[in-house]
Amino acid sequence: MPTPSHSFKLADVCANLAQHAPQPLTYEGLCKWVEGIDWTGCDWAIHLPEVESAKDYARNILCLEPFEVVLLHWPEGVESAVHHHEGFWGTVVCLQGVLENVTYSLEDGVLRKKDVLRALPKGMVPEPDGTIHKIRNGSASEALVTLHFYHPALKDLNGLVLYDLATGSALTCNETAPTASIHLPASNYRHIEQQAFRYAPLPEASHVQCNVVPKPDADAIERMIEGYFAEHANQYDALDAQILKRRQYTSAIDRLVAEGFRTLAHAQPMERVMHLACGTGRRAVEIRKESGLGYAIEGVDMCKEMVTQAAARGLVVQVASLRHPAEFMTETAFDAVTLLYAYGHLPNRTTRQSIIQASFDMLKPGGVFYFDAFDAEDEHEWGPEALQQFQEQRLGPQGYEEGDVFYRRARGEHVAFLHYCSSASLRGLMETAGFVDIEMTTIGYDQSVGVESHNGKLFVSGRKPINQAKP
C-alpha cells in the first residue's frame, strides 16, 4: 500500500482493495488502515465530482467492495443534515479545507449536541455504528473535500434517517436521494415523521470545546493561544471579575500563594519573585499586597498587549515564550516562581516538563514553585470528556496526549488549547525536576469554590532542596 512519503493514484488503491483491506474487516481495523495512509498524497483532484448546486454537496462513489470509498465536494458553508449511521460504520478524511463534524445524542426523544471535531487536511473523523452527526464546511471562503470509507457499502441512501432540528421532523431517504439533505424534493424521501423528536440546545456557556485534528504543532498552538488572549487582553481582568467562581477561585489561590510567601520569608529573605505567564500583572501585584512583603516582581508573558499592562503595574516583564526558557532565564536566582492558571495551556508534555525544570533551576536553594493545573478527574470540568474523546475520536494517532482539549469562547473566534492532567503525572514531573516537599491540594472551582474539595483544580507546590545550588 502507499505510504505517507509517496504520491499515489486513488484508482489503484480502489482496484486493489480486496488484496489490501484489513482482515477481518472491522471498525477498528478499517480505522487503523485509513490512519496508516496520507490520503492527501493521492490524485484525488481528478476524481472530484462537479458541484451542481451551491447549496448542496456532490458525491463520487469510487468503489463499493470490499467497502465503500466515496469522494465528497462541499461548497462554502454547505452542510449535511443531522443523520443517523445505523448498521454501518467508517471514517472520514479531510483532504482540503475545514471539516466540522458535529455529533449528537438521542435519548427519550430528545436530541442534544455532544461535541464538535474540526478536521484540517490529513485530519480523520471516525464514525462508529450508531453515530448521529452532521458534517459541514467550516470555511466561508474555501471548498471542502472529504474522502469517506464505509462498511457495509451504501449503494444509495435508502433508509438513511435525517433530523430536521427546526421542525422536529425525521425524514427517511429513499434510493433516489442524492445527498443527506432535508431540502430535497418530497419524492426523495420514503417517509416523513412529524414531531419525531425534540431538539434541546445546550445551555449557553462561556466556552465551548472544538478539538482540531491532526493536533497542531507546538508553534501553531502557541500562536493560537497568543491570538486568543490578545483578542481579550483589554478586557481580560474585567471578564475575570464578571465570572464569580473564577474570581473566587483565583482569589483563593492568590491567598494560598501569599501565605506560602510569608512562611518562606520566616526562613529566608524574600527579595525576588518570578511570575511566569504573568498576564496583565494584576494577580502578581495582589499576591504581593496580600503577603505584606516588599519583594521585587518580575514576569514573563508571550502576549504583548498583556505585557504592556503588566509593565504599567510596575512589573519588570519580558515578552517571551515559556517553550524557550533560555530566552528569559537570568543568572540571578529567585526566592519563588509561580505559574498560575497557565500550566494547562502548555502544548505538550515536553514543554510542561521543560518549564517545571526551568522553574526549579531559577530558584534559590530553599525556594518554592507554585502552580495550578486542570484535573482530568474533575467531573464538573472537561477532563473526563477529554479522556473519553481521546478514545472515541481516535485522537492518539492524530498527535494528541490524553487530556488535550481545544476550545474557544462562545462569542469569540480564536481557538485555544488546554490540557487536563492527573496528580500522579504532576508529581512525576516535579520529582524528575528535583523538587522535594511536594504538596498537592484540590481547590474547588465549580463546587465548593475556593476551598479544599474532592473536585476542582490541583494546586501544586514544591521546594528546591536547601543544599542544592543553582547550576
Q: Is the pLDDT of residue 3 over 50?
A: no
Domains defined along the chain, listed by start: 10-202 (2.60.120.10), 218-463 (3.40.50.150)
CA 295 to chain centre: 37
Q: pLDDT class for 236, splitting at 50, 70, 90? A: low
Query: pLDDT by residue (tens digit) across 412-429?
Result: 678 899 999 999 999 999
Q: Which of 63-72, 341-350, 408-417 has the lowest mean pLDDT?
A: 408-417
d(CA 139, CA 117) in angstroms, rounded, equals 14
Q: pLDDT class for 228, splitting at 50, 70, 90? A: confident
Q: Is the pLDDT of residue 382 over 60?
A: yes
Q: Is the pLDDT of residue 232 over 80?
A: no
Q: Is the pLDDT of residue 211 over 90?
A: yes
Q: Is the pLDDT of residue 201 over 80?
A: yes
What is the reported pLDDT for 227?
84
Mean pLDDT across 388-410: 94
**Residues contacting 324, CB < 8 A, separation 6+:** none
Q: Is the pLDDT of residue 470 over 60?
A: no
Percent of the chain with pLDDT over 70: 95
Q: pLDDT class for 2, splitting at 50, 70, 90? A: very low
Q: Give me 101's grid cell.
A: 463534524
Mean pLDDT across 389-408: 96
**Residues contacting 377, CB < 8 A, separation 6+:** 383, 384, 422
Percent of the chain with pLDDT over 90: 84
What is the reported pLDDT for 4?
41
Q: Give me 35's grid cell.
A: 490512519
Which residue(s) pair with 226 in the sheet?
A: none
**Burial class of residue 124, CB neighbours in 10 A (0-12, 13-18, 19+):** buried
Q: pLDDT class for 279, splitting at 50, 70, 90? A: very high
Query: pLDDT by residue (tens digit) across 75-109?
Result: 999 999 999 999 999 999 999 999 999 999 999 99
Q: Is the pLDDT of residue 177 over 80?
A: yes
Q: Is the pLDDT of residue 468 over 70?
A: no
Query: pLDDT by residue (tens digit) across 108-133?
Result: 999 999 999 999 999 999 999 999 99
What is the reported pLDDT for 17?
94
**Residues contacting 28, CB < 8 A, separation 6+:** none
Q: pLDDT class for 239, splitting at 50, 70, 90? A: low
The single-letter code of the amino acid at 158 is N
Mean pLDDT across 339-347: 96
Q: pLDDT class for 373, splitting at 50, 70, 90? A: very high
Which residue has better confidence, 20 or 393?
393
Mean pLDDT across 316-321: 95
d(CA 71, CA 145) in angstroms, rounded, equals 7
Which residue(s) pair with 83 in the sheet?
A: 133, 162
Q: Is the pLDDT of residue 185 over 70?
A: yes
Average pLDDT of the chain, as a whole number: 93
Most confident range (mean pLDDT) of 14-23, 83-92, 245-254 is 83-92
What is the reported pLDDT for 467?
78
pTM over 0.75: yes
Report helix angle 349-362 to 423-433, nearest 10.
Answer: 50
**Residues contacting 57, CB < 8 A, separation 6+:** 51, 72, 73, 74, 75, 78, 80, 179
Q: pLDDT class for 237, splitting at 50, 70, 90? A: low
Which residue has better confidence, 239 or 134?
134
